[in-house]
Structure 1
């Protein structure tokens, strides 16, 4: 006879699930025992369930197939929530199997009882409790099908007395529905958009990760329209490399060239992006938006022409009409934006010179932003970029780690990029790196970890050792919650509550079993990065970076500049 737990595990293994992440315990013991007896699935036991949810979210984003995590009764399931919210906002198909108290105790406020269906109602596209074997296979099929169809989180709760119950021998193993085929927008929508894009007015493209599989089409469109291309952070992967139309990112991690390209346009074409920062989207433009998800259309800015459909197939239909008008002769809008971007990149590159702070301009700047001559985080990011192979998976903690990766790491070759770019959680980089590494232990994976983020889930450094996951954990150790510090200073406030009294993180990592090195001097940096990529197994590089480094917004306002000046003067008076 087959039990409920065995049927669930068999169905997931048949569907190609290779790993399940979580923490073992009580209600889920029948499930983990079924995993133990099925050689097709590896159990990855983490030190905190949040890590499990982040890890399988990363796996789902990299592969497009469902990631599976587990949390047992009450607190164990609650710990999954943050990582599951990240999966929700990243549109990653994830199944969370959660424990529950025995069925006869549900509703009695039993020890550790939590109403999972209510708890997960907002994060999940499907959240139900399996209370009887007769609910199989339908309930499991609904859960997985919903996760795939809606690109989201499904939660299946299993009470402690249900997993071991026997299933009727006539019950079929659950089978899951295939994904829907992508379809283009309607011809009427395409025709109307083509007329706007070819009427001669300057066009700027704001391109997101929804267009990553339409690289050829979007590059041809940019060429025909002489349109500069602003990329969202998630669109760097697949669209940044060898892209002569690209002018970097917008938003707080952006640059003046991207802001100029957006402001100087008359027609703005949003392609595969739900870019959330309204303040960085210019007004007074004719807006065309293409997105596979109709609910994204118009929720960030008013849209004049909506295209609801798959990016690649819709763009091909659009190109058929744009090609008839030929290649736009006036290319000044594109050329001006690209030249502005090139000039900004040159200025950024000057920060990477070890002798920068010895120049006249460098000495003047360093008085305010690097008084202790510490390693600049830009130099660290650039050194990792040079050392990392072209198939590296990068993960980034929310905050300044993301800013440095955005500006100094190029998504060339087969590189992939993961981060909590929609939820904006701290502590995501290490768990995502673990998930990515577990998919392929031979592929290089680098975690751009902030010191604040790493310390939140520090215990799961040991998971890398336990499961022989050779991640490269690069710590931007500036002793500060850097992005919060910047926010305070831009508002004219001296930094408060952002200072971190870190331990020697390299020593902590060594105690956890990882080869590690602490870097404090500029002339040690290059050798240390090369060393980290040469270590066999997981490794941590703890680089003490400058906490006063300024990531200036692409279009700093007068109030921001004045606020920053006031804040820095207060800090000098109060702290130095």
Structure 2
């Protein structure tokens, strides 16, 4: 015989799970004890269950295999929610094993009792409570299958007195994984080909769903002479050595993408559920390709919707399309993008603020001559390994990564790009580092995000996870500041009373450095990236940096000017 807990742990190990994340406690004791005795699985105890869920989700996104996290009764399980929502919205297969009060106390408002099946209803594709050992391994099989099939989150709840009960030892767990590559409908392919053939100028918007079909998608762009706007998630795998890509759209975008959208005669969307319809062209004939039918047309009206694999659909279109002779649309977009990049790169030069242009600009956006965040991001890009994994907090650190870090080589990128949570970069970096400990992992952390889950520095120390934590320390919730100013409001409630974060890291056992002088930046970055274990680089950056989106309305610009005037009045003590 074997116990329910032992069966779960053995099955997870057989499935290839090598780490389980969480915080130990009461109802989980039988499970964590089984992990202690299972040599193939490492338990990583985080300081907060939210971090456990983020780490498990990061592993699932990097590997495509099941990530596993655990939370015990009541509050322990509730703390998983934010990280699980991120996994759901990132389509990452994650299993959460949650504790529950003893079976006899269910429904009695027992100490810490929470109805997990109800609480996790929105976030989990599968959620069930084990009420009898006879339900095993069937419920575990259903949970894992659902996580892979969605892909997304499954929650299996285990009452405290169930985990130690016996089940038949030979009750094997069977999981079937069949990667789906749905073939497109030939009629829809024909309709799409006619739309694209008739269009003089085509612009493509390509997302992470096309990552595995890179060669076919690039061939299609070449056939159509189409500039390719990449979603942020699509930088990973589709940015490097891509002569058609012109960067991102939206708040992190650039003028070239706006021009490419607005001047197009047709828009081709592949593998993306880009969630900002206000940035897409209005009234432009649109073809959308996605494996999920519910994604078709939900962001912008489409003329042809193709439900199918990105690569199979692109190959089918290639068989029907003639090469466009006129390359001017593509050339204009690429040239505009390259010009914008050159202008942006000026901000990364160490002596920029001492040049004539820099001195003029600094009067408005760097009055204290602090390190520009663009320079920090570009320096990391220059010296980071070509196989590095980058994680980034939601907010301004993502803006700087999107604009100045290239996903060359086999680099990977993780962030809370669909949920938009704070504090994701550090725990996702932990998950990435535990997946492959010899691979460089670099977390782009905002000071607000880092300090929200600051306790996870202790997790990096305890489990010797060699992450490099780069803090864009501007003493602000920078994206909120920008939002307020674009709305014509003076900055309020965004200032952070930060300590010396390098000193905090040193106090918990992580070496680091604090950088305040632009002239010290390159040496500090080199030292950080070369450190053998975890390292924290606290860079005091300019909080006044302006990062306006590529399509700024008159109202936004006027609001920004008004906000700056109000801030100046307040700073001088005038009422």
Do the two structures share a fold, i.e. TM-score over 0.5?
yes
User: Does 1:98 pair with 2:98?
Assistant: yes
Q: Structure 1: how far apart are the matches of 2:126 and 2:199? A: 47
Q: What SS is found at the alignment partner of 1:40?
A: coil
Structure-2-length-normalised TM-score: 0.99
- Contact 1:268–1:286 (CA<8 Å) still a contact in 2? yes
1:352 is aligned, of 339, 348, 354, to 348
Instruction: For 1:346-425, list aligned pairs within 5 A.
Output: 346-425=342-421
For 1:359 and 1:384, locate their aligned partners in 2 and report how far apart those are by CA, in whole Å: 23
SS at match of 2:12: helix
1:38-187 residue pairs with structure 2 within 5 A?
A: 38-169=38-169, 171-187=170-186
Residue of structure 1 equivalent to 2:227? 228
Offset at residue 336 of structure 1 (A): 1.1
Cα distance in 1, alignment partners of residues 349 and 368 from structure 2: 17
C-alpha distance in 2 between matches for 1:137 and 1:571 = 62
- The 5-angstrom pairing of residues 264-303 of structure 1 reads 264-303=263-302
Show CA shifts across 1:467-522 (max 9, x none): 11000000000000000000000000000000001011010000010011000000
- In the alignment, what sits opposite 2:200? 201
Is the Cα–Cα contact under 8 Å of residues 148 and 179 in structure 1 kept in the other structure? no
TM-score of the pair, normalised by structure 1? 0.98
Displacement after TM superposition at 1:180 (Å)? 3.6
Shift of 1:10: 0.8
Q: Secondary structure at the match of 2:320?
A: helix
Residue range with higher mean Cα deviation, 355-364 or 552-561: 355-364
CA distance in structure 1 between the aligned counterparts of 2:227 and 2:309, rounded to whole angstroms? 22
**CA RMSD of the aligned region, Å?**
0.8
Q: CA deviation at 1:106?
A: 0.6
Shift of 1:361: 2.1
C-alpha distance in 1, partners of 2:562/2:189?
Answer: 51
**Cα distance, 1:360 vs structure 2:** 2.3
Q: Is the 8 A contact 1:184 1:311 kept in 2?
A: no
> Following the alignment from structure 1 to structure 2, what is the Cα–Cα distance between the partners of residues 521 and 10?
53
Query: What is the alpha-carbon distance in structure 1 between the residues aligned to residue 211 and residue 423 of structure 2?
Result: 26
Give SS of 2:471's match.
strand
Please tell me whether the aligned partners of residues 199 and 266 of structure 2 are also in contact (alpha carbons under 8 angstroms). no
Alignment partner of 1:455 is 2:451 = yes
Any idea what SS the aligned residue of 1:234 has?
coil
Contact 2:137 2:171 in 1 (8 A): yes
SS in 1 for 2:455: helix
- Structure 2 residue runs of 5 or longer lacking an equivalent are none
The answer for the alignment partner of 2:514 in structure 1 is 518
State how far apart, in whole Å, the 2-side matches of 1:168 and 1:348 are. Answer: 64
Determine if the alignment matches structure 1 residue 435 to structure 2 residue 431: yes
- Deviation, 1:314, is 1.5
Counterpart-to-counterpart distance in 1, 2:102 and 2:178: 35
Q: Which runs of 5+ in 1 are unaligned?
A: none
Corresponding residue for residue 10 of structure 1: 10
Distance of 2:206 and 2:280 partners within structure 1: 13
Name segments (4+ residues, structure 1) moved above 2 Å: none
Structure 1 position 200, deviation (Å) = 3.9
Equivalences, count: 572
Per-residue deviation at 1:301?
A: 0.5
Q: Deviations over 1:61-88 (max 9, x none)?
A: 0000010000000000000000000000
Corresponding residue for residue 562 of structure 1: 558
Residue 534 in 1 paired to residue 511 in 2?
A: no
Q: Once the 2 structures are TM-superposed, how far is the Cα of residue 318 of structure 1 from its aligned partner?
A: 1.2
Whole-Å separation in 1 of the counterparts to 2:531 and 2:8: 39
Larger deviation: 476-485 or 6-15?
Answer: 6-15
